[in-house]
Amino acid sequence: DTAESRGGITVKSDDGRFEAKIGGRIHFDTYIPVDDDDVGDLTGQTNFRRTRLILDGKAYGWAYKFECDFTGTGTGCFREMWLGSTLGPVNFRIGQAKPYRGMEELTSSNEILFMERPFATASGIYSGNQYAQGVFLDSHGANWTWAVSGYSLRNEEAPPTEGVGAAARVTFAPVLNDETVLHLGLSASTDRPQGEQRDGSGNPTGISVRDASGRAFGRISGGTRIARTSDERTGLGGELAFRTGPFYAQGEYAKVDYKSDTAGDESVDAYYLQASWLLTGETKPYDVKKGVFKSPKPKAASGAWELKARYDVMEGETAPNDKISNWIVGMNWFVNPNVRFMLEYLSGKIEQTTDTETQILQLRSQFNF
Amino acid sequence: DTAESRGGITVKSDDGRFEAKIGGRIHFDTYIPVDDDDVGDLTGQTNFRRTRLILDGKAYGWAYKFECDFTGTGTGCFREMWLGSTLGPVNFRIGQAKPYRGMEELTSSNEILFMERPFATASGIYSGNQYAQGVFLDSHGANWTWAVSGYSLRNEEAPPTEGVGAAARVTFAPVLNDETVLHLGLSASTDRPQGEQRDGSGNPTGISVRDASGRAFGRISGGTRIARTSDERTGLGGELAFRTGPFYAQGEYAKVDYKSDTAGDESVDAYYLQASWLLTGETKPYDVKKGVFKSPKPKAASGAWELKARYDVMEGETAPNDKISNWIVGMNWFVNPNVRFMLEYLSGKIEQTTDTETQILQLRSQFNF
Amino acid sequence: DTAESRGGITVKSDDGRFEAKIGGRIHFDTYIPVDDDDVGDLTGQTNFRRTRLILDGKAYGWAYKFECDFTGTGTGCFREMWLGSTLGPVNFRIGQAKPYRGMEELTSSNEILFMERPFATASGIYSGNQYAQGVFLDSHGANWTWAVSGYSLRNEEAPPTEGVGAAARVTFAPVLNDETVLHLGLSASTDRPQGEQRDGSGNPTGISVRDASGRAFGRISGGTRIARTSDERTGLGGELAFRTGPFYAQGEYAKVDYKSDTAGDESVDAYYLQASWLLTGETKPYDVKKGVFKSPKPKAASGAWELKARYDVMEGETAPNDKISNWIVGMNWFVNPNVRFMLEYLSGKIEQTTDTETQILQLRSQFNF
């Protein structure tokens, strides 16, 4: 058997049937409020956004992943945690993983373009539902993927709850060559809690979003939650992405309908457009197995430099017709395949009866191994 | 030095003096209530029952084990956590490990026949005392073992408490060949809290049992606890097990006497009988070092299939003379040495003033590496 | 690439550019009160003082350290957690590490002479500030070191807080040969909370000390805290250490000035002197990169034996002029490079309006890998 290090540890048996890998990631953030007049005194601070230990391996045609984020407590540390195998061309996993709900959601946190994902993900419209427990199936061809998941609404951190959900996604890349990629995607999901529902941030099918001005400043307080509880949630999403040489753009639109006997029905839209230019000439790789873009590998010893911008919106359709939006401009420096720095200037806005605006400057230092 | 993977990682020095191993286990359960009329609406759900990371190794004739279960929080994650060495034919360990209290208790959770251990273990009569901190000695011959432990009643998760305990076990296999094993065992323990005692589930020498219908549905509420506190607990246990070819049967009887100035004296019995038949013809291995049975290694590519049944009882001898019992039938599928699925149908009964019955269906998906 | 075990696991690429290491430590303590008349009934107990898992590695000229102590909960487990590289002769690290505040503080917990550090460290005068988040720079020559850190006062376990601090240290060894070392050191730090301050033990610039009679018995209750909050803390420290052959002595003096609008100003002194004699003739190694002493490697198969003693004081200069002091005598047994046992007899005293004295016996069993 052979052992290898590229920062972590990989051991493979000579016949390729056995393998184990130890990796992890450290995402260390610094937040500096630039204008916090509207929201009270924000706390400039540092924060470990992710500190994950990841073991994965395979044996006798089966595989597992054991992923824990130490910024969470106890079972709250669980991220992916599953065993799985293949049935012909289909991979299946049993345990905890991400339901298939959209391109940016399924992009690794090591590879996302900005420090935080946009509202059309579990960072917004699917808040509290980034991971689920159940069965996950996926497959792919030369330029397409499909994936289906059926799961319990159990949130491992919270007390047991009943209810089930399902999410599916298909992607297709009509143009796919070394220079240019055109990516199309569709996803749909439904979540149906049963028995007693939980409300608040633990609600498996409600919504509670982060502050427009970023993760650092916590969740929006009660009044700005767009919907609290629901008996049934139905989500639909569309993806469109394009890359040619060093240029890349990606947008998603997600619409979620909430039905609730007690809180009334509600419909919420989220959409974003993000783009980047690799100043040092690299091309963002496209992962045909997952239908997402990845981080570029730097060509030069001085690393890869990427200019980036995003506009991001989430909006309720019924009164109170809250709208949360932000734009971000920034720069990524890929020092090497393991180290990345991100600098972002974010301007966020909440439009309610009174408008609230904030600006912050944020920096991520990242090592993944 | 050489590195090897069989799903985890093992590194050994060429002279055999140094070794380190990284392993773990994922036990992912699904519970489906079949009849919950008597106990209110049970929550069908999924649950990570165990997610352990295990490091162990040796250096210069000493060894350690570092085992953490991420379903527990902070120090609650500790399972085995010790350093040790040998004194002639005797192994000793200093730190946290299992007191020697019976066959099923000392069988690895990867190898137990059913999803949960019976009442004659820390899943019942020794609840809250599965692990203890102290000194652990064991030795074995060709067909016998002995083991002694002396420990503090400290529960690492709970505030410090005073008191000490001791537990010892001997086993003997008068018949032991490739086909047939006859195993006999005896164990005894005494636990003496000092100073302030804690009550409730944290009580080091009280008892608080799981619901007859399984782990998933939490602990029995106050009224059904058989004894709450004690100043002194004395336990005695007998073991009888038999294997011939693909057939295996194992039973234990445990009797525990509680003495309490405040709660009165109490005596509790627990006993079970479990048996299995390996349809695919394997034989359950017997671990002569520990005096327990292990999981079979599948002969065929389609894995090993095992039919199983258990009847399990715990009963108080003084009023209220509560009796908790259940029977389980099920099937184990050993896909390969790392992967196992277990399917069980459990029917549980609590006999108090009013009887309570429940039936559930439960499934475990397991990867150990 | 090659894999190696000396109890843990190290994998290095053949070109030396990549490396990953898995290690850890188990420190298991037993406390036996000898005289607790003045302080009420102390609880004799066992305790896991440290159970750490440590990953560190390097890739493409960058390095990381991922260190978690499972005796802490969630982010409270973080110890060193950083990424870094070098700029010419200077090492820099970004993330969480120890501010440079004195010799004993910067000595590894695997190598400290006694079970607990003296008061002139984060075990006393810098309580709650052992680790900080920011930027850490260090460099060294043949017989000198310097180190500077600038950091946020964020305590990862506690809610976000504002404020920044800086700490620097220089050391010089005018005599440094195989036989004899004379070490001199100076350190200074300033900590300035901004915005809302937290009080109590979480206060980043207050002080809350451990009981004179050792870690085991928890923190001193409110009345004996020497200062609770401060708007500004300034620390100054001096170090003097000497080794010749098997003899070693080390002392530090630290003075900290607290300024507080609400609680008034306060000045606190801490100092200690510790010495040891290696009965088996080893010499304590001096780490020129960090300017600290390390544990000896045993020469004989029966290990190294070390006699040791310390006198340790912390004292407020304004009323109530509390003085906390203790002396310890003990013995260390270095069984091999991975295993150490420490036995200590500690006599502690708190001088307030009424004096309080305690004596305890304590034992550590340690495996580091």
| Distance (Å) from the alpha carbon of A198 to chain B's nearest alpha carbon | 13
- Give every CB contact of residue B151 below 8 A, 6+ residues apart in sequence: B99, B132, B133, B134, B135, B136, B164, B165, B166, B167
| Distance (Å) from the alpha carbon of C73 to chain A's nearest alpha carbon | 6
CA distances (Å), A342 to each of A111, A113, A248, A307, in order?
Answer: 11, 9, 17, 10
Residue of B nearest to C24 (CA): B66
Select the residue of A2, A28, A43 nearest C161 (Cβ to Cβ).
A43
Contact A78 B2 (CB under 8 A): no
**Is the distance from CB of C52 to CB of C79 less than 8 angstroms?**
yes
**Is the distance from CB of C293 to CB of C250 less than 8 angstroms?**
yes
Q: What is the mean pLDDT of residues B144-159?
A: 84
Give the pair of three-digit tokens for residue C293.
């002493």
Q: Pick C24 or B228 by higher pLDDT.
A: C24
pLDDT of C12 over the 90 cut: yes
CA neighbor of C132 nearest in space, from C146, C120, C117, C150: C150
Best probe of the C interface among B14, B15, B64, B67, by most C CBs < 10 A, is B64
Task: Round to whole Å and give the CA distance between B69 and A66.
Answer: 12
C1 contacts chain B (CB < 8 A) = no
Contact C162 A45 (CB under 8 A): yes
pLDDT band at B199 (very low <50, low <70, confident <90, very high): very low
pLDDT of C117 over the 70 cut: yes
- What pLDDT, in 10s, does the model give residues B108-146? 999 999 999 998 998 888 877 889 999 999 999 999 999
For residue A59, which phi and psi values (nearest 5 degrees)? -160, 130
Please give the pLDDT value at position C325: 85
Please give the pLDDT value at position C83: 98
Task: Round to whole Å and give the CA distance between B363 and C5.
Answer: 39
Q: What is the mean pLDDT of residues A32-43?
A: 75
Q: In chain C, positions 190-219, which contact chain B (CB-CB < 8 Å)?
A: 216
Q: Pick C209 or B160 by higher pLDDT.
A: B160
Residue of A nearest to C151 (CA): A46
- Give every CB contact of residue A253 below 8 A, 6+ residues apart in sequence: A120, A237, A238, A269, A270, A271
Residue of C nearest to B11 (CA): C5
- What pLDDT, in 10s, does the model give residues B231-245? 788 999 999 999 999
- Give every CB contact of residue C177 below 8 A, 6+ residues apart in sequence: none
pLDDT band at B63 (very low <50, low <70, confident <90, very high): very high
Contact B51 A154 (CB under 8 A): no
> What residue has token string 């012909």?
A88
What is the rounded average pLDDT for all residues in chain C? 87
| C135: enclosing H helix or E strand | strand C132-140
Q: Is C280 exposed, middle or buried (0-12, 13-18, 19+ CB in 10 A)?
A: middle
pLDDT of C207 over the 90 cut: no
Task: Round to whole Å and give the CA distance between C218 and C59.
Answer: 42
Please give the pLDDT value at position B356: 79
The chains in contact with chain A, meaning 3 or more Cβ pairs closer than 8 Å, are B, C
* Domain ranges within chain B, ordered by starting residue: 2-368
| Distance (Å) from the alpha carbon of C119 to chain A's nearest alpha carbon | 28
* A68 neighbourhood in chain C, CB within 8 Å: none
- Give every CB contact of residue C34 below 8 A, 6+ residues apart in sequence: C345, C359, C360, C361
Select the residue of A3, A78, A154 nearest B46 (Cβ to Cβ).
A154
Please give the pLDDT value at position B214: 45
User: pLDDT over 70 for what percent of chain A?
Assistant: 85
pLDDT of B219 over the 80 cut: no
pLDDT band at B193 (very low <50, low <70, confident <90, very high): confident
* B365 neighbourhood in chain A, CB within 8 Å: 83, 94-95
pLDDT band at C320 (very low <50, low <70, confident <90, very high): low
Q: What is the mean pLDDT of residues C138-144?
A: 97
Mode of pairing for the β-strands spanning B286-287 and C292-293? unpaired
Please give the pLDDT value at position C72: 82
C46 contacts chain B (CB < 8 A) = yes
Q: What is the mean pLDDT of residues C243-258?
A: 95
Task: Round to whole Å and give the CA distance between A99 and A157.
Answer: 17
| B20 alpha carbon, distance to own chain's centre | 25
Residue of C nearest to B94 (CA): C365
CA neighbor of C212 nearest in space, from C109, C103, C312, C344: C312
Give the pair of three-digit tokens for residue A320.
């109170």
pLDDT of B34 over the 50 cut: yes
Select the residue of B22, B28, B367 nearest A22 (Cβ to Cβ).
B22
* A4 neighbourhood in chain B, CB within 8 Å: none
Task: Round to whole Å and give the CA distance between C323 and C325.
Answer: 6
- Helix boundaries (H) for B74-184: none
| Distance (Å) from the alpha carbon of C63 to chain A's nearest alpha carbon | 8
Chains B–C, number of C-beta pairs less than 8 Å apart: 127
C43 contacts chain B (CB < 8 A) = yes
Chains A–B, number of C-beta pairs less than 8 Å apart: 126
pLDDT band at B163 (very low <50, low <70, confident <90, very high): confident
Give the pair of three-digit tokens for residue C335.
């069984």
* C60 neighbourhood in chain A, CB within 8 Å: 335-339
Please give the pLDDT value at position B263: 67
From C34-38, C187-191, C227-231, the region with the lowest mean pLDDT: C227-231
Give me the interface pTM, i.e. the ipTM.
0.93
pLDDT band at B1 (very low <50, low <70, confident <90, very high): confident
Q: In chain C, positions 113-172, which contact chain A (CB-CB < 8 Å)?
A: 133-134, 152, 154, 156, 160-162
Q: What is the mean pLDDT of residues B59-78?
A: 91
Q: Pick C25 or C130 by higher pLDDT.
A: C25
Select the residue of B18, B22, B94 nearest C7 (Cβ to Cβ).
B18
Please give the pLDDT value at position A264: 73
Contact B20 C8 (CB under 8 A): yes
Contact A161 B45 (CB under 8 A): yes
- Give every CB contact of residue A240 below 8 A, 6+ residues apart in sequence: A183, A184, A185, A250, A251, A252
The chains in contact with chain C, meaning 3 or more Cβ pairs closer than 8 Å, are A, B
Contact C75 A70 (CB under 8 A): yes
Q: What is the mean pLDDT of residues B249-256?
A: 96
The chains in contact with chain B, meaning 3 or more Cβ pairs closer than 8 Å, are A, C
Q: In chain A, positions 54-83, which contact chain B (CB-CB < 8 Å)?
A: 55, 57-62, 64, 66, 68, 73-75, 77-78, 81-83
**Is the distance from CB of B367 to CB of B341 less than 8 angstroms?**
no
CA neighbor of A366 nearest in space, from A27, A18, A16: A27
Q: Pick A223 or A29 by higher pLDDT.
A: A29
From A303-317, B269-283, B285-299, the region with the lowest mean pLDDT: A303-317
- CB count within 10 Å of CB B70 equals 26
C40 contacts chain B (CB < 8 A) = no
pLDDT of A35 over the 90 cut: no
- What pLDDT, in 10s, does the model give residues A99-151? 999 999 999 999 999 999 998 998 888 877 889 999 999 999 999 999 999 99
- CB count within 10 Å of CB A335 equals 21
Select the residue of B55, B161, B195 nearest C24 (Cβ to Cβ).
B55
**Is the distance from CB of B227 to CB of B263 less than 8 angstroms?**
yes
* B62 neighbourhood in chain C, CB within 8 Å: 335-336, 338-339, 367
pLDDT of B287 over the 80 cut: yes
Range with the largest mean pLDDT of A104-108, A207-211, C117-121, C257-261: A104-108
Q: What string of H, E and C letters represents the secondary structure of B159-212?
A: CCCEEEEEEEEEEEEEEECCCEEEEEEEEEEEEEEECCCCCHHHCCCCECCECC
CA neighbor of C136 nearest in space, from C170, C93, C98, C176: C93
What is the rounded average pLDDT for all residues in chain B? 87
**Is the distance from CB of C237 to CB of C214 less than 8 angstroms?**
no
Task: Round to whole Å and give the CA distance between A213 and A211.
Answer: 5
pLDDT band at B201 (very low <50, low <70, confident <90, very high): very low
Please give the pLDDT value at position B202: 39
CATH fold of B2-368 reads Porin (2.40.160)
* C70 neighbourhood in chain B, CB within 8 Å: 68, 74-75, 77-78
Chains A–C, number of C-beta pairs less than 8 Å apart: 128
> What residue has token string 């304004």?
C318
* A55 neighbourhood in chain B, CB within 8 Å: 22, 24, 53
Residue of B nearest to A57 (CA): B7
